[in-house]
Structure 1
């Protein structure tokens, strides 16, 4: 039985917790409400805890001998390494604990219980709209039991036992407190991860200390290269036309569709803003002039760019082992008022965001939520006073927002929940307008975007009365299940019906890495037959997991 906890004992408990969550991450993942193979809660919590465990293991023992020093190291590592909302909340719990343990060499039962409670307070304060029936509820009730027990018992072991008992009861009740969990009939995944962490810490007090396997997933993305010759259209052309006639932009879309791909056309009463990949920029601009005067033009040779990127990527991979991931990144001097960092998965989507003006693209999304430090690195590399961040996924909001306190740049997170919204936000940017004006414009334009995605069910499930079978096509509109079908044909018809009801005018289809161009064109053909009055463009997004991402405006 232990009455005091020093820094090295704290280190061992964090390492044990990281190992246990890593072992059970798939079990946690399977509690996710939607049966989509994405960046799941268990994976995010495991990677976040591993960031702390790795840094603690690498520290000389005398540097973390006090619990204050060990807690500070863990909290800092988790803040920078946090992935997904669950990882960020976990890092906030540790940050609050670290502040409560500041300047303490050791912690007694009361100190430890108070630290748990302060961790909960920090998490609740940081979350914009705290929801009950989540990790917040579980950690709050566990901490309350710890505080109550510590007032009567000097042993940290007993305090943890009571916290675990209360936390387990709270976890089982999350299904009743959270309406979304109730629909799915599952307990909260983040709460389960928290309980696994507490139970591992309690076991470590008894001498059952675990270590994280070196084969654990690090969350690093792998660069996949393709030949420069595989680029079908060599020039990325962007332009803005000030309209001086009544010609329909649909005519421009049709023209561009015949000579290029990756077409995005945004219009209002005054201007037409266009992005296209084609082999003859001159032909593109000549046609553009029939709609009005050119206000701005940008042309880039993608084959030359791609060759450079291959070299850069290879050099980056060769030197990565020598780089310290947690070092403070260099902060670029501002050369402009604002810039943009976007998060997405898929080379085609990444290139599109860059073509539209993004200064940095962070690899991530559903398949792997990026760490706070990944987003921070791109923010700091952006040569601007203010950096807009487009998370393009609700599970990345909190990691993006944590960056604001880690950089001297002003960070403005536009809460885009999908890649489709992110692309619309990029197209709404006007570089001659202020930061506030652009923020308002982006927030306004994403309201008019309907995001539909087509993926597959990773497991059998029931959600809101919908029976979902593993392997079936799963069609989502934002977070709502539109349909699930064993064949794609009826799913396409369902999508068309939904788009008809929305009075869709313009449709962009981004096809993923598991779809070839012929299959994608077949889908577009069927949508064109079902929606003859809708202008449809096709872009190779290259995204994993999702066969198609569809943007309707």
Structure 2
């Protein structure tokens, strides 16, 4: 591969999530610095999953915009110090590539050097023998690579990161005593190996074991203190650092406020990081004992939100008995018939009658008692509420992922390919692809006068929509059955094998039979499945696969 485009970036992000999932338990087990809380692998996986989710929700025009989506998603969903550093690595890649449609070997070299700069800035007290040492080695290897070929640069960075990881026990005594390499560094090697694999088609063989032999001197080395003196991890997102009314184009005020917040937090604890996405949003991380003071420092600096607090001593014990099953699928639906349909397919259903309170969804997510939860929002216009609830669940240690969609027929398509025997992240990707491949249509009534792409509509007129756009307006009362036939014909123009129809409250008698008879003549190769959905305010919702 000579250059990375948006599609290749997506494949890399997906490969990162898959590989981190495979190595998560091993990375968690070797997590001994700065605090032996056994969650570095989990934090990296959840942060990268948030980054991938952000990319899947966007429509990137090239490598630069794809990397930017990854960076913003990683910052918003960063877990732990390792997640914060990962968000800055992705931000460095995004800034270096900029708006370019592709990333070449030269731009990857520049990107790794910028990622190194931002990652070091993100840590209050950089220490040798950590992920920073591994990233520095990778960036320097890319810089010194004699070739500009993308595969050569990526492979050089991957090899150097593995070699640097092997050196971490000789740089950090706490690693030598435990006989392990650095957990964060191990995670970075996984990401760089995945990148080399996407570019060259060959995933490098692991050259460094997670555990290394301990010399006798390591057993008598004095114990380091560090963050073991502090009881809590406090994290929150913050905006408004530049102050109300400040010019968003001038970042100096934001940087000064961030520096002041870092100073205030360093007086309270360690492992301090205050890092941004370059667009006004910052994430804060600190290990401390005085939780209130850490939050108050944020209030004085700007507008903190999504505040999470974890007590290190509670983390292992709490996770052990919290989950009683591995997987669950939660579907958000409207209509009794649709709800019964999803329940019959094994999903946990949240019926949405009007507005959605994120607390209600969070209660359903935690109530599943499942370690991994996939959310299918088969109801439009709930993105912010769903993201809020899922972010809180992830912050509390549950692996929750949203499959992007806006229609119950997309949710049905995703649920149809759900396979609990697959690895969790493989299953999510399959469900997302099934939802994205489903064309969605709907027939309903206009609630107010408006101008559409196909003309003016009045209250009560019939509207036919295809993938969210109005394609036909029929004055009230209109021929609902005829309009349904026309919409299905239009949806089948690009082809299709399966038509799924959910009948709404306003569906006329005999609509299912009329559709079946029409398709038998006009599209005999297509299979039709009809369900009594009871969708409020709708005549018909239809999906084509």
Report the TM range for the smaller structure's normalisation.
Answer: 0.3 to 0.5
Larger relative CO (CA 8 A, sep 6+): 1 or 2?
1
TM-score (norm 1): 0.41
